[in-house]
């Protein structure tokens, strides 16, 4: 079957701009046999839709579905002419239809398989129901001559295997109480485009001195179903997803991760569709947090183009503070600070965005004040900005503001007014001689200090009524730590 998408009329089908091929029908066949059919087409030109659906009818008596595909990407600094892939079952492929979602691997895999018993990472095990299934293609950065594609769908006929057994991670660590907990909410494994297994990610997180990590696979909930197999009871995994739209990425962190398919958040919309608020509200209703990810990355579709009205937090620090990351992180901090000055507080978050062992988990991470080491308490700490960000578990700090009997830390409020003087204190351990600390308010620098050994102390008297104070710790131009603000207004 050949589809010339440049000549097809585009239409809206509840999930952004899409086009759909003609239905391909498979006939029943004897158990133990396989049947294969092929879709063919070509993406080219400037009017390629965001999503293309290849529908096929599955008869009764199918044990497994296997899909493989080919296309011709154009390599470069940023690879173009890429085709992402996923699949929806007969429950439907409409926008937000979690019942029909059965998996997504983007451009990370050239084939996948799913059955009642198991599925390729990124895909969801479950019944192979009779009816209309849809392979979903996502043409990405199509330019020039574009790329042909070929999608092969193979049905394995026979009786279904045993039911898949979910093993989600526990939502709390027994015996924990109030404290500061270190974690990285932006970690990828083989369930999306990462190269590490879930067990390897856990081992790396423990080695980095973390207490928790966030499951944030691109556009799929599959990892949420199995984290309990890979982590012990004294380590917390926070279910989530990196929602990878064509106009920026955001983290849906702190999802329930319950049910046979976990918690899935749709990504098939752009700013002009006006759909973002629907899905960030869904995340909040589920008890989670919406975080704009790497918002200053200067690449179309990765750069954050939605604005911040519907976000709960900003990932101001993504990966190591070096090279291009240093520039994009600094730009993200600048945007965050401007929002603070304008009276909009979105807590600052830091994560590694690790995809492989060389991208070390925990560089960066967030240190969160929470009532317990549990999903609900950690997310509450993030939401309130009771946190600070650092590059290493070797860095520790204490940041307080005090007026009379009232004292506060990151995200707290210490009410003050004209005539008051607020004592602000910052102490940092794990630094080296020459490292610097800077106290920052809405109008700029309020104080500085330089380390002479492995510790650093900055004390400053700040005028009452100052909107906020926050701190940064640097080694030269490299950030070592930054805090969320303490608010000083009544």
Domains of the chain from N-terminus onward: 2-157 (2.60.120), 179-393 (3.20.20.140), 397-489 (2.60.40)
Task: Provide Rg for the chain, Cα atoms.
Answer: 24
Residue pLDDT, tens place only, 236-245: 999 999 999 9
Residue 302 corresponds to which tokens in the numbers above?
């990765």
What length is written for the chain?
490
**Contact residues for 371 (Cβ-Cβ < 8 A; gap 6+):** 177, 178, 377, 380
pLDDT given for residue 79 in this prediction: 87
pLDDT given for residue 18 in this prediction: 75
pLDDT given for residue 395 in this prediction: 98
pLDDT given for residue 17 in this prediction: 63
**Contact residues for 144 (Cβ-Cβ < 8 A; gap 6+):** 44, 74, 80, 81
Q: Which residues of the chain have pLDDT under 50?
A: 1-16
pLDDT given for residue 113 in this prediction: 98
Q: Yes or no: say if 385 and 369 are a contact pair by the CB < 8 Å rule.
A: no
Residue pLDDT, tens place only, 8-40: 222 223 344 677 889 999 999 999 999 999 999
Backbone φ and ψ for 376, nearest 5 degrees, come out as: -65, -45
Report the predicted TM-score, pTM, of the whole model to 2 decimal places.
Answer: 0.95
């Amino acid at each position: 079957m050949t589809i010339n998408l440049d000549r097809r009329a585009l239409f809206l089908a509840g999930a952004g701009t899409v086009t759909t091929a003609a239905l391909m029908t498979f006939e029943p066949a004897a158990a133990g046999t396989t049947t294969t059919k092929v879709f063919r087409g070509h993406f080219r030109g400037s009017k390629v839709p965001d999503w293309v659906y290849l529908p096929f009818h599955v008869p009764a008596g199918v044990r497994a579905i296997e899909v493989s595909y080919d296309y011709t990407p154009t390599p470069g600094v940023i690879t173009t002419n890429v085709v992402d892939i996923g699949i929806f079952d007969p429950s439907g492929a409409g926008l937000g239809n979690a019942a029909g979602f059965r998996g997504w691997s983007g451009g990370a895999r050239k084939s996948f398989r799913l059955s009642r018993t198991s599925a390729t990472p990124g895909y969801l095990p479950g019944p192979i129901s009779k009816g209309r299934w849809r392979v979903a293609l996502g043409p990405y950065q199509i330019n020039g001559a574009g790329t042909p594609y070929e999608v092969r769908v193979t049905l394995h006929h026979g009786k279904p295997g045993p039911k898949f057994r979910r093993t989600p991670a526990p939502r709390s660590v027994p015996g924990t109480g109030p404290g500061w907990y270190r974690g990285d909410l932006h970690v990828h494994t083989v369930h999306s485009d990462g190269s590490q297994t879930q067990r390897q990610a856990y081992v790396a997180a423990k080695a980095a001195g973390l207490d928790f990590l966030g499951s944030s696979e691109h556009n799929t909930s599959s990892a949420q179903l199995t984290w309990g197999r890979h982590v012990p009871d004294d380590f917390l995994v926070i279910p989530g997803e990196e929602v990878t739209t064509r106009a920026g990425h955001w983290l849906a962190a702190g999802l329930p991760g319950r049910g046979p398919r976990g918690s899935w958040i749709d990504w098939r919309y752009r700013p002009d569709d006006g759909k973002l608020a629907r899905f960030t509200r869904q995340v909040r209703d589920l008890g989670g947090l919406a975080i704009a990810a790497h918002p200053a990355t200067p690449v179309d579709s990765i750069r954050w183009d939605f604005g911040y009205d519907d976000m709960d937090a900003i990932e101001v620090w993504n990966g190591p503070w070096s090279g291009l990351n240093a520039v994009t992180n600094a730009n993200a901090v600048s945007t965050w600070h401007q929002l603070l000055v304008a009276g909009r507080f979105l807590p600052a978050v830091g994560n590694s965005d690790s995809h492989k062992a060389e991208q070390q988990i925990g560089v960066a991470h967030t240190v969160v004040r929470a009532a317990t080491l549990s999903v609900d308490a950690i997310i509450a700490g993030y939401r309130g900005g009771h946190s600070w960000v650092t590059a290493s578990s070797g860095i520790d700090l204490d940041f307080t503001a005090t007026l009379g009997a009232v004292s506060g830390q990151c995200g707290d409020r210490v009410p003050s007014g004209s005539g008051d003087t607020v004592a602000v204190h910052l102490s940092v351990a794990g630094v080296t001689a020459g490292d610097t600390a800077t106290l920052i308010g809405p109008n700029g620098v309020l104080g500085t200090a330089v380390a002479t050994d492995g510790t650093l102390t900055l004390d400053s008297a700040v005028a009452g009524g100052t909107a906020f104070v926050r701190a940064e710790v640097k080694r030269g131009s490299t950030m070592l730590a930054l805090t969320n603000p303490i608010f000083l207004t009544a």
